[in-house]
Amino acid sequence: MFSDIVRVLVPATVSFLVGIAIAPIITHYLYKYKAWKKSPGKSALDGSRAQEFNRLHEANETRAPRMGGIIVWASLLLTIVGIAIVAKFVPSAEILKLSFLSRSQTWIPLAALLIGAFAGLIDDLLVIRPGGNGLPLAIRLFTVILLSCFIGWWFWAKLGVSVVGIPFGAPVFIGWLVIPLFVLMSLAVYASGVIDGIDGLSGGVFASVFASYTIIAFVQDQIDLAAFSAALLGGLLAFLWFNIPPARFYMSDTGTMGLTLTIAVIAFMTDSLGGGIGIAVLPIIGALLVATVASDIAQVISKRFFGKKLFRIAPLHHHFEAIGWPGSKVVMRYWILSIIFAFAGVIIAITGALHV
């Protein structure tokens, strides 16, 4: 047990230290090349100008650069490569055990992270051009759907995933419906990436989610997956170190796209594959991500069918800003709630699996 804890804590610590070390370098180049939107302002979901949002945030959109999410996935990648290099030149049993790149547990989440991060990076590079608007939403959604279809098929056809764990109950057989379930989950979690809107908000919420799945994977004895999640947590904490108000940079799509897709993958990896409950507790662990998406959907429905807005601004965290809450108050309260929901989700996942 002690060695397994070390195998999880060491990658997390290394990733955090790597992130702290590379952040000033990345920051230097982001500021040097002015990696921020050249034309501030945002459009609402229906295409109209988001007046309330722009009133609150228009000035900030050119204050700090985008692409801070590079720190998160680069920290993980450098940790994986660094441990592999050390293991090659110091091939002791202890060092070899620290390597958490495995075909059975971490290849799929790593692929999802890097592909999503690369697609998001392209979007960010297009956004920071003069007059740039980024990749069209249709292309981004197509990327998510295409990747999710392949991963969902892989879970079903190659890994034999055909059931979904239910807390305190028997698993439910769904067969090939695993594929559309994964696609829908990926789209839903990807949509929650708009939580990246206030200094420190997304980093704290995502950190709670990955901390939760680190514990769940560890309890399931999926140590490589737990180490992977912990390393992402370390990268997120390093990002958060520089993202607390006033943020030195924003996470933007290269961070949120990769992380949200990875969350969906890890939820599946910690379900029937791990003999546990990973999917059903995601709405609890990620309750604030759910609230973010739900508030957007509710706002669109209310405007389209009732002709009025349900919130001053959607998603929900901007509504709180619009009614007078300082951004720091919104962030702190979201952090508190994210920890509470994460703790509840972990308890349900662990105890719910034991009662099956």
Quickly tell me which residue has 């702290």 as its tokens. Answer: 20
Buried b (16+ CB within 10 A) or exposed e, 79-112: bbeebeebbeeeeeeebeebbbeeeebbebbbbb
DSSP state of 158: I
Q: Which two tokens stand for residue 144?
A: 């998510």
How far does CA 93 lie from the centroid of its chain?
Answer: 33
Residue reference for tokens 């912990």 = 230
DSSP assignment, residue 177? G
CA 259: distance to chain centroid?
3
Q: What is the pLDDT of residues 5-57, one digit of tens each?
A: 999 999 999 999 999 999 999 999 999 998 888 766 665 555 555 666 666 66
Mean of per-residue pLDDT scores for the chain: 90
- Per-residue pLDDT of the chain (356 residues), as tens digits, is 558 899 999 999 999 999 999 999 999 999 999 888 876 666 555 555 566 666 666 666 667 899 999 999 999 999 999 988 887 787 776 777 788 989 889 999 999 999 999 999 999 999 988 877 888 989 999 999 999 999 999 999 999 999 999 998 889 999 999 999 999 999 999 999 888 878 899 999 999 999 999 999 999 999 999 999 999 999 999 999 999 888 899 999 999 999 999 999 999 999 999 999 999 999 999 999 999 999 999 998 998 888 888 988 889 998 898 898 998 999 999 999 999 999 999 999 999 887 65
| DSSP secondary structure string for all residues of 81-92 | HHHHHHHHHS--
| Crossing angle for the helix pair 107-127 and 70-89, to the nearest 10 degrees | 140
Q: What is the pLDDT of residue 322?
A: 87
Determine whether 28 is exposed, middle or buried from the number of CB atoms within 10 Å of its CB (0-12, 13-18, 19+): exposed
Helices (H) and strands (E) in the chain, counts: 14, 2
E strand spans, the chain: 163-164, 172-173
Cα-based angle 164, 170, 173 (whole degrees, multiple of 5): 40
| Dihedral class, residue 5 (left if φ above 0, else alpha if ψ from -120 to 50, else beta) | alpha
> Which residue type occupies 311?
F
Measured between alpha carbons, how far is 157 from 177 in angstroms, rounded to an integer? 11
Alpha carbons 100 and 122: distance in angstroms, whole number: 28
From first CA to last CA, the distance across the chain in angstroms is 24
Q: Let me know if 237 is exposed, middle or buried by CB neighbors in 10 A (0-12, 13-18, 19+).
A: buried
**Radius of gyration of the CA atoms of the chain, in A:** 20
51, amino acid identity = Q
pLDDT tens per residue across span 294-314: 999 999 899 888 888 898 888
Nearest to 112 by CA among 161, 158, 73: 73
- Structural domain boundaries, residue 350: 2-354
Look at the chain and report how many structural domains it folds into: 1
